[in-house]
Amino acid sequence: MAELPKGRRITGGERDKLSADLRRRYENGDSIRTLAAETGRSYGFIHRVLSESGATLRGRGGATRRKATPAAPAPTPTPTPVPAPPTPPSAP
């Protein structure tokens, strides 16, 4: 992919061709950052062109912050039978 001139507007058929090419490469696994570096355009420009093209954007990689899911409750222990106290001897 050729490097695009910075700051130059990409419109019409040229933008359609670029959009289709970027989408194809993105859907084949290239990252937005890789596409930006290879075209000489910004991350935001590539993101916008992909969004306009209808591409399904992937989630961010690496560690993500999310609410911790509650742990499953611990199983209820079965009660251990307690022996009855011995009966006192009866009086004579």
Q: Where are the domains of the chain?
A: 28-58
Cα 35 to Cα 45: distance, rounded to the nearest angstrom: 10
Give first-to-last CA distance, the chain, whole Å. Answer: 109
- d(CA 57, CA 47) in angstroms, rounded, equals 8
Model pLDDT, residue 62: 58
The rounded distance, in Å, linking the Cα atoms of 69 and 58 is 23
pTM above 0.75, yes or no: no
Helices (H), ranges, the chain: 12-27, 32-39, 43-53
- Parts of the chain with a pLDDT under 70: 1-5, 62-69, 92
